[in-house]
């Protein structure tokens, strides 16, 4: 009987919560893994790049909630690796900083399983930085100590030497210690630290809903209780914590902090919009109500056409699935209905000759006035408004419409429906997304409705809903800008 060669175990740090802080190596290994054993405290879309056939196993622990025993997690890691599978053990933060990665590495070594360690950005540094607190600062703190706050300082078997820790000449960063704040502060003051020493507590550091409070050793336990600070949180103790007020930068960088936004775009297109929103601090609910379905099509010889007019980025993408050489468009006037479509063309090496100021067919018709057109090709969706072909035919041109794709409804499960309707905003980037979401959800009541442009707004009005926000620039970036402005106006 042939003995199975063990797979490789990768002990991977996912960072503190902001997906942008995940390493390139971590994303590469997730994309290759046969099995991913993941914690709760990983970025919300950290697994989006995993193989469709990969086995994803939640082994996360929640403070005060459901617990997966470490022994179970380690046993799963060993079992899958011994079965010849490459396993990513994905851990919040860094696997070797209060992550029990050392124990998992020892188990691999004991079973002859090859393993690698991929460090991650640890919360003690990242959450502090996102709160405007440098853990070291020239002239203020020349050393930093990372301490688990999960132990009860009153326990006789504690591994922490509290008097020595109180005497430590630098910054103290406690992980997982929010429930122990009264005892931690008491022990440090008893050991000689000033009751007036500054303290900062950062909840859900680097996530979109991060928040922080500042106090002193004398007040921080009560301050945290009043603010209802919950895990996961880190606590920074020392003079550097006072720099929070001066160096706090996150509010300006994240104008959508604390705002939930539902994205209803097709799943394949939603990631870029969702990433833009998350980068601005929003909590994103992905509720795709639409799917792009390519059609069988044959692009005719382009020589007879003096105009090729693209009416969506999807049309551009599908067109170049069928036409692989951009030089086929040499000699034709190329029109794009708006900046997003023009950007899609540029990605294929084509600079549009005509781009109207507004991303609607009426504006493109106006922009084409004065352009000599005898024969036009319009690659587009199967069902679309006929304003452009009708206008060109009215000018005496021969028009061929080339359907390249259709939009079809995407089923919406109850959890996604409820989350989307419970969001503060719901974004719509096409008339189809409006109609399909309404059909799937049964209503548009609840969130403020954000429209990418006039055609999308018209679809909302047809269903009896006036858009709360309409983008001035009819692109995903324009939609985000309009949403940011609406949030700022509400907060003013």
**384 band by pLDDT with thresholds 50, 70 and 90:** confident
pLDDT beyond 80 at 156: no
User: What's the pLDDT at 61?
Assistant: 66
pLDDT band at 2 (very low <50, low <70, confident <90, very high): low
What's the CA gap between 346 and 327, in Å, rounded?
A: 13
Please give the distance of CA 15 from its chain centroid, rounded to a whole number: 14
pTM, 2 dp = 0.75
Say how far apart CA 325 and CA 310 lie, in whole Å: 17
Mean pLDDT of 364-368: 92
At 252 the three-state DSSP class reads helix
Q: Is 22 a catalytic residue?
A: no
- By the 8 A CB rule, do 302 and 320 touch? no
The pLDDT tens digits for 388-421 are: 999 999 999 999 999 999 988 888 889 999 999 9
pLDDT tens column, 90-117: 999 999 999 999 999 999 999 999 999 9
Is there a shared CATH topology between the 255-289+410-491 domain and the 293-405 domain?
yes
Residue showing tokens 């617990």: 67
3-state DSSP helix/strand/coil % of the chain, to nearest 5: 35, 20, 45
pLDDT at residue 491, rounded to an integer: 85
CB atoms within 10 A of CB 100: 15
151 pLDDT band (50/70/90 cuts)? low
pLDDT computed for residue 277 by the predictor: 92
Q: Which residue, chain included where needed, has tokens 């706050």?
A: 149
Given 40, 45, 61, 152, which residue is catalytic? 61
Q: In what order do the strands lie in the sheet with 448-451?
A: 283-286, 260-263, 425-428, 448-451, 469-470
Q: Based on the residue annotation, tell me whether 230 is a catalytic residue of this protein.
A: no
> What radius of gyration do the chain's Cα atoms show?
28
DSSP string for 23-89: -HHHHHHHHH-SEEEE-SSS-TTTTTTS-TT-EEEE----TTS----HHHHHHHHHHHHHTT--EEE
Based on the number of CB atoms within 10 Å of its own CB, is 108 exposed (0-12), middle (13-18) or buried (19 or more)? Answer: buried
CA distance 337 to 125: 46
- Residues 246-249: contacts with CB under 8 Å, at least 24 apart: 246/132, 247/132, 247/133, 247/134, 248/131, 248/132, 248/212, 249/132
Cβ burial, residue 489 (10 Å; 0-12/13-18/19+): exposed
Q: Which residue is listed with tokens 């069928």? A: 322
CB atoms near residue 477 (< 10 Å): 15
Query: Is 80 exceeded by the pLDDT of residue 73?
Result: yes
Instruction: Determine what percent of the chain is predicted with pLDDT higher than 90.
Output: 72
The arrangement of secondary structure in 293-405, i.e. its CATH architecture, is 3-Layer(aba) Sandwich (3.40)
Indicate the class that CATH gives domain 255-289+410-491: alpha beta
Where do the structural domains in the chain lie, given as residue ranges?
Answer: 9-120, 125-252, 255-289+410-491, 293-405
Kindly name the residue from 22, 85, 86, 176 that is annotated as catalytic.
176
Is there a contact between 203 and 230 (Cβ–Cβ < 8 Å)?
A: yes
Q: Residue 224, class by beta-carbon neighbours within 10 Å (0-12 exposed, 13-18 middle, 19+ buried)?
A: buried
- Strand bridging mode 211-216 / 198-203: antiparallel
Non-local (6+) Cβ contacts of 300 within 8 A are: 377, 400, 402
| Angle between the N-to-C axes of helices 431-441 and 454-462, in degrees from 0 to 180, rounded to the nearest 10 | 30
Active-site entry in 18, 34, 39, 94: 39
20 Cβ neighbours under 8 A, 6+ residues apart = 279
**What is the distance between the alpha carbons of residues 378 and 319, in angstroms, rounded to a whole number?**
11
Query: How many angstroms separate the Cα of 274 from the Cα of each of 31, 32, 52, 115, 263?
Result: 20, 24, 20, 34, 7
Q: Is the pLDDT of residue 159 over 60?
A: yes
pLDDT at 4: 86
In this prediction, residue 131 carries a pLDDT of 96
Which residues have C-beta within 8 Å of that of residue 225, sequence separation ≥ 6? Answer: none
Residue 190, number of CB atoms within 10 A of its CB: 12
- Dist. CA 386–CA 21, nearest whole Å: 46
Q: What is the rounded CA–CA span in Å between residue 235 and residue 205?
A: 11
Query: Residue 331's pLDDT is what?
Result: 83
CATH topology of domain 9-120: Cobalt-precorrin-4 Transmethylase; domain 1 (3.40.1010)
Residues 6+ apart with CB under 8 A from 17: 41, 42, 43, 92, 123, 204, 205, 206, 207
Strand order of the β-sheet with 115-118 is 55-58, 35-38, 87-91, 9-13, 115-118
pLDDT above 60 for 65 = no
- The CATH architecture one would assign to domain 125-252 is 2-Layer Sandwich (3.30)
Please give the order of strands across the beta sheet that includes 211-216. Answer: 144-148, 171-175, 233-237, 198-203, 211-216
């Amino acid at each position: 009987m042939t003995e199975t060669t063990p797979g490789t175990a990768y002990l991977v740090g996912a960072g503190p919560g902001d997906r942008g802080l995940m390493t390139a190596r971590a994303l590469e290994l997730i994309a290759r893994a046969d099995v991913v054993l993941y914690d709760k405290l990983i970025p919300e879309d950290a697994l989006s790049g995993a193989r469709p056939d990969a086995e994803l196993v939640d082994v996360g622990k929640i403070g005060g909630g459901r617990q997966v025993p470490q022994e179970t997690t380690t046993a799963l890691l060993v079992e899958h690796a011994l079965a010849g599978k490459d396993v990513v053990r994905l851990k919040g933060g860094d696997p070797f900083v209060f992550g029990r990665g050392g124990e998992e590495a020892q188990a691999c070594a004991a079973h002859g399983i090859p393993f690698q360690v991929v460090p991650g950005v640890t919360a003690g540094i990242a959450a502090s930085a996102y709160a405007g607190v440098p853990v070291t600062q020239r002239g203020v703190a020349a050393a930093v100590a990372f301490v688990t706050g999960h132990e009860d300082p009153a326990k006789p078997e504690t591994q922490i030497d509290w008097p020595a820790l109180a005497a430590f000449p630098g910054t103290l960063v406690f992980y997982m210690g929010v429930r122990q704040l009264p005892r931690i502060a008491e022990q440090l003051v008893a050991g000689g630290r000033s009751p007036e020493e500054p303290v900062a507590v950062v909840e859900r550091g680097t996530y979109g809903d991060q928040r922080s409070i500042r106090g002193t050793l004398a007040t921080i336990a009560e301050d945290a209780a009043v603010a209802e600070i919950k895990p996961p949180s880190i606590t920074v103790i020392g003079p550097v914590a006072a720099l929070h007020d001066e160096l706090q930068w996150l509010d300006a960088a994240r104008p959508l902090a604390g705002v939930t936004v539902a994205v209803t775009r097709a799943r394949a297109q939603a990631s870029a919009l969702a990433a833009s929103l998350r980068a601005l601090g929003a909590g994103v609910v992905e509720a795709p109500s639409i799917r792009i379905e390519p059609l069988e099509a044959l692009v005719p010889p382009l020589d007879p056409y003096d105009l090729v007019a693209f009416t969506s980025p999807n049309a551009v993408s599908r067109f170049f699935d069928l036409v692989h050489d951009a030089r086929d468009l040499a000699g034709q006037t190329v029109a794009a209905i708006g900046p997003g479509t023009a950007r899609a063309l540029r990605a294929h090496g084509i600079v549009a000759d005509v781009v109207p100021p507004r991303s609607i067919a009426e504006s493109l018709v106006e922009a084409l006035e004065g352009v000599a057109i005898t024969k036009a090709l319009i690659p587009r969706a199967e069902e679309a408004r006929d304003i452009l072909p009708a206008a060109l035919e009215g000018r005496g041109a021969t028009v061929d419409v080339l359907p390249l794709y259709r939009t079809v409804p995407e089923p919406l499960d109850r959890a996604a429906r409820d989350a989307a309707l419970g969001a503060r905003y719901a974004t719509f980037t096409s008339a189809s997304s409006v109609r399909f979401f309404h059909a799937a959800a049964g209503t548009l009541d609840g969130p403020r409705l954000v429209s990418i442009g006039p055609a999308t707004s018209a679809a909302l009005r047809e269903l009896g809903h006036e858009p709360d926000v309409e983008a001035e620039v009819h692109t995903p970036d324009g939609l985000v800008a309009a949403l940011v402005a609406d949030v700022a106006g509400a907060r003013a």
